[in-house]
Amino acid sequence: MTRRERGSSGRGDGGGDGRSGGKSGGQSRSKPAGKSAGKSGGRANSRKHSYPRAARISETVREVVAEELVRIDDDRLAFVTVTSIDVDSEMNRGIVYYDSLQGEEGDKRILEALNENRKRLQSAIAKQIHARRTPILEFRPDDGIRAAARIDEVLRNDPMHTRNLDSE
């Protein structure tokens, strides 16, 4: 019988009692203890799926912020709508886009109120999403919605456009 058939590893570690075959002993040593082959593949997969995860986190954070704004008793935040939140992939920063019925005239007051309540909003996020990090929030008016409203207003007041709509 050879050393391998007896189960000895040949390293003097006392592994040769005849019960383990040579192949299984060699295979168990090929992977470091506590690591599985799937973990390294998981990292590559997480990069591939980072967009959906970021989108899910952004949507969850948007819901939490919107719910918390309803609970805040501040007249400056009445009629404020959170339209979207962009959270970066590392969860370091979240940009909160909002719109309100107060329009551009109320932006300064709304920004003051949102910044005063930033820690409360971040605390609510931390409690509900159970992540390692909570994004630092930054607030900006949603210019996309306002631009769409301006375009709509221009089209409504354009005599050429209204004439075309009447003929259809």
DSSP string, 4-37: HHHT--SSSSS--SSSS-HHHHHHHHHS-TT--H
First to last CA, the chain: 96
Q: Is the pTM of this model over 0.85?
A: no
3-class state of residue 101 by DSSP: coil
Burial zone of 5 (CB within 10 Å; 0-12 exposed, 13-18 middle, 19+ buried): exposed
Give the model's pLDDT for residue 14: 47
Give the model's pLDDT for residue 76: 94
Give the model's pLDDT for residue 148: 87
For 97-119, the DSSP string reads: EEEETTGGGGHHHHHHHHHHTHH
pLDDT averaged over 10-residue windows placed end to end, the chain, 168 residues: 49 48 47 47 51 83 95 93 91 93 89 97 93 92 87 85 55
Give the model's pLDDT for residue 54: 80
Give the model's pLDDT for residue 34: 47
| Domain edges within the chain | 50-142
At 83, list the tokens: 């339209």
Give the model's pLDDT for residue 47: 53
Fold for the domain defined by 50-142: GMP Synthetase; Chain A, domain 3 (3.30.300)
